[in-house]
Each structure stands twice: as C-alpha cells, then as structure tokens.
C-alpha cells in the first residue's frame, strides 16, 4: 500500500507566504508530506526546459520564472512556481510547476472555474493548474482529464496517490497531539485504486479544526470519484481565530 512519508510542510493552499506557513504549523498539518514514498530528487536535466525558457532554480523546490517566455500565456498569480513532488511519481514522471490562477483578477466565470482542478481561498481566491513541458512546448494542465492524458493509465498505488494529491484540495499528513500522524495512502481494489487523504476548512472564524478523512475511487483512466468523508481528528485551539 502506497503511503505518504512525512517530510514537513511543502505546498501552499493559497499564496500567503510566511503567514500561511505559520498558520499551517498552528494547524498541525502538511499539504502532502513531501510526496508519495519520497520521489527521486529533481536533476538539472529534469528542469532543463524551464531553465532554457528563462526560469532560475532557487534550490528550495521553487523556480523563479519572472523572465520565462511562457509566463504571459498562463496567468499564474506568482512568478515563483513550486515544483510538485507528486509529478515525479506519475508514469511517465512529469515536472509539474504549480500555477495558481487568481479568480477575481482574471474575471473567471463559474464555467471557467469549473475547468480547473479546484478553486479555493478567501479574499484571495485562486484556481489550481500546473505548467509542464510536453517535449515540444509548455502547456497548462488545468484538470484531472488533461493530467490523465499525459500520465495515464494509472497502474500503481503510488501513482494513484500522486494523482489524487495533484487533483484534489487535500493534504497528505495531519499531525496529532501525542498520537502518530494521519498519512494519506492508496491501495488497489477491484475497481482500480482506493485513495484516502485529508482536508480541512481554513477560512472563517473558529476555535477548533475538524480534519476530514476523504476516500476516493480512482480508475486506471484517471476518473476520480469521492466515496465519502468523516471527521478523523479535531484540534482544539487556544482561543478563536479568523482567517480571510
């Protein structure tokens, strides 16, 4: 059974920089724990198309693409793009750069928002997409159907777990007081793969965080179907907080 291996906070849910990292530390969770089963490290050869296009590797999991030729085409909110570990667990492996697209700044309609993997946030609302090099040109991958065209068919547990982590608004690890952490995982079943991950609602005012366990069915063709969810852990905070 494939399982997330913890390696500390890695992926932002929205662009909140240092403030966001502090909030995530307070909540005791990571977005994906470093990717399924510690995928291999990126090499200069992996990043060669991005570097040739004008990006700079800052060696922290991000690439600075302020001068990249492709940036104006995709509407990424930030010029610093995060490389997603999960892309290296796909078959064939892919170098995927996270490209959040701002909803209000780009006047996205509801129909346009539904064409992305997912949209979220508070005052700053973004929709998730990824930038990749397909061997000929840079492309923007906006939804699971498009990702499956590059990565399918899904043939193993590690790949199914990575596919869900890239496609859904979920986290891979929940730290618990005096208990082992909850880790995202995948296993093969009769219809394809069963993937379990976690989510929580960051926005609003509250004095506790309810982490939900979400179960998905994933087919070889990349179709994701939610099977159900339940509260798996509650973290009580020292007083109420509000996040916009």
Asked whether residue 225 is domain-assigned, the answer is no
Give the residues across from 83 on adjacent strands: 97
Asked whether residue 192 is domain-assigned, the answer is no
What secondary structure letter does DSSP report for 202? -
In 84-191, at which residue ranges do the beta strands (DSSP E only) sit? 97-102, 119-121, 125-133, 138-141, 173-176, 179-183, 185-189
Q: Which domain holds residue 127?
A: 2-175
Distance of CA 114 to the CA centre of its chain: 17
Asked whether residue 182 is domain-assigned, the answer is no
Asked whether residue 187 is domain-assigned, the answer is no
∠ CA 131-64-140, nearest 5°, is 10
Domains in the chain: how many in total? 1
Asked whether residue 20 is domain-assigned, the answer is yes
Asked whether residue 211 is domain-assigned, the answer is no
pLDDT in tens, the chain (244 residues): 776 544 333 344 333 443 344 444 444 444 444 444 445 567 788 899 999 999 998 877 899 999 998 999 999 999 999 999 999 999 989 999 999 999 998 899 999 999 999 999 888 899 999 999 999 999 999 999 999 999 879 999 999 999 999 999 999 999 999 899 999 999 999 889 999 999 998 888 888 999 999 999 999 999 999 999 999 999 999 888 888 7
Asked whether residue 131 is domain-assigned, the answer is yes
């Amino acid at each position: 059974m494939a399982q997330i291996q913890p390696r500390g906070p890695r992926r932002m849910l929205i662009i909140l920089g240092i403030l966001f990292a502090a909030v995530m530390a307070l909540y005791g969770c990571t977005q994906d724990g470093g990717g399924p089963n510690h995928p291999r490290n990126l090499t200069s050869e992996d990043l060669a198309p991005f570097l040739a296009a004008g990006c700079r590797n800052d060696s922290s999991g991000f690439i600075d693409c302020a001068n990249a030729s492709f940036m104006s085409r995709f509407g990424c909110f930030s010029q610093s793009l995060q490389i997603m570990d999960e892309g290296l667990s796909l078959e064939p492996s892919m170098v995927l750069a996270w490209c959040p697209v701002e909803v209000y700044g780009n006047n996205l309609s509801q129909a346009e928002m539904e064409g992305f993997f997912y949209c979220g946030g508070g005052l700053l609302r973004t929709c998730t997409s990824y930038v990749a090099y397909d061997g000929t040109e840079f492309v923007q991958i906006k939804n699971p159907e498009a990702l499956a065209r590059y990565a399918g068919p899904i043939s193993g547990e590690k790949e199914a777990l990575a596919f869900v982590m890239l496609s859904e608004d979920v986290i891979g690890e929940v730290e618990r007081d005096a208990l082992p952490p909850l880790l995202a995982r995948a296993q093969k079943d009769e219809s394809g793969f069963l993937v379990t991950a976690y989510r929580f609602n960051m926005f609003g005012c509250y004095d506790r965080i309810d982490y939900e366990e979400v179960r998905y069915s994933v087919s070889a063709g990349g179709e994701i179907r939610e099977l159900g969810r339940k509260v798996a852990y509650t973290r009580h905070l020292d007083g109420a907080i509000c996040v916009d």
